């Protein structure tokens, strides 16, 4: 049986890669997309999610989520990474469809309650929708099969501060709620996503194998790859969100360490994901009152890229 997923997303070029990757995988079944602010506004994210589905004729429901962080002032959208439209300024036409009437949090709660212990939540944006769903119905922490997030960093330098990754930094209070809930979070962060680089040749092969969305993904990917080449000297683009989907398909591609994670919500360490890695006793018990997370620290880059390519280049 395929793994049932809800993808919580802020599309986003790398989100588009992840969504098409998940849709093409026979191991996964997407029950819905829930949208959030992050790479773009939640309104643009919802438009983008609908456009991605319409490219392939999918009727997967889209639920619009939160538009701002829980407490902090919203940050500027990173149009220098994803373009003003989130897709590298390819300027797609408006979608024909609309989001469903349920909010993202309501859709998550309803779907989990209707499919107890069967739904995996894959969150590849800021975590406000998951935090809102927990507040709406705390029982989902016991009834969700797995929670996978693309976000955070432990040893790798952050991408929005020396210690913080963008998805966590955008809504640190929500992130701490999610990490502190009574479920195990599987964290796919910069410690592994900065170790996986997708070059232009691979993107071209995906383009040539997928007439419905391949050209779009390639064109949007030029903007994304150009950013990483200029800012990081990468030979292509880092594979962020698609790495979380790869974890959903085959977690054996990753090496993890287990331990409780808390998120700094204020000050110069805002957005830092802090993992308690040793069994020491500390004067403060912030890490002793939360469920352990599984944090990805190593990845088989070649195998992950091979999985992505083989899934999106059907023979």
What is the set of active-site residues? 240
Nearest to 262 by CA among 228, 295, 229: 295
Nearest to 164 by CA among 27, 272, 21: 272
Place of tokens 């976000």: 151
Tokens of 30: 């997407």
Neighbours of 247 (CB within 10 A): 27
Phi, psi of 62 (to 5 degrees): -120, 125
Cis? peptide before 84, omega within 30° of 0:
no
Neighbours of 285 (CB within 10 A): 9
Tokens of 304: 């992950």
3-class secondary structure, 218 = helix
């Amino acid at each position: 049986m395929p793994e049932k997923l809800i993808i919580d997303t802020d599309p986003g070029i790398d989100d588009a890669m992840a969504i098409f990757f998940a849709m093409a995988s026979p191991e996964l079944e997407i029950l819905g997309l829930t949208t959030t602010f992050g790479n773009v506004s939640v309104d643009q994210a919802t438009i983008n999610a609908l456009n991605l589905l319409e490219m392939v004729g999918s009727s997967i429901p889209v639920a619009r989520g939160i538009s701002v962080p829980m407490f902090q002032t919203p940050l500027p959208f990173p149009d220098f990474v994803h373009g003003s439209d989130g897709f590298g300024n390819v300027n797609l036409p408006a979608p024909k469809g609309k989001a469903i009437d349920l909010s993202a949090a309501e859709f998550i709660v309803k779907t989990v309650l209707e499919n107890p212990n069967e739904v995996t939540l894959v969150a590849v944006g800021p975590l406000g929708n998951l935090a809102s769903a927990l507040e709406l119905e705390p029982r989902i922490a016991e009834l969700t099969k797995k929670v996978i997030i693309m976000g955070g960093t432990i040893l790798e330098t952050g991408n929005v501060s020396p210690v913080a990754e963008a998805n966590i930094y955008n809504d640190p209070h929500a992130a701490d709620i999610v990490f502190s809930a009574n479920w195990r979070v599987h964290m796919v962060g910069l410690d592994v996503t900065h170790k996986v680089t997708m070059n232009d040749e691979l993107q071209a092969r995906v383009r040539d194998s997928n007439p419905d969305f391949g050209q779009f993904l390639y064109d949007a990917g030029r903007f994304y790859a150009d950013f990483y080449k200029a800012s990081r000297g990468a030979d292509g683009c880092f594979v962020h969100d698609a790495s979380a989907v790869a974890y959903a398909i085959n977690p054996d591609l990753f090496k993890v360490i287990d331990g409780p994670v808390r998120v700094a919500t204020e000050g110069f360490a805002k957005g830092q994901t802090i993992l308690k890695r040793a069994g020491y006793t500390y004067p403060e018990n912030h890490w002793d009152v939360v469920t352990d997370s599984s944090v990805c620290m190593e990845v088989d880059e070649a195998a992950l890229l091979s999985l992505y390519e083989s899934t999106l280049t059907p023979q």
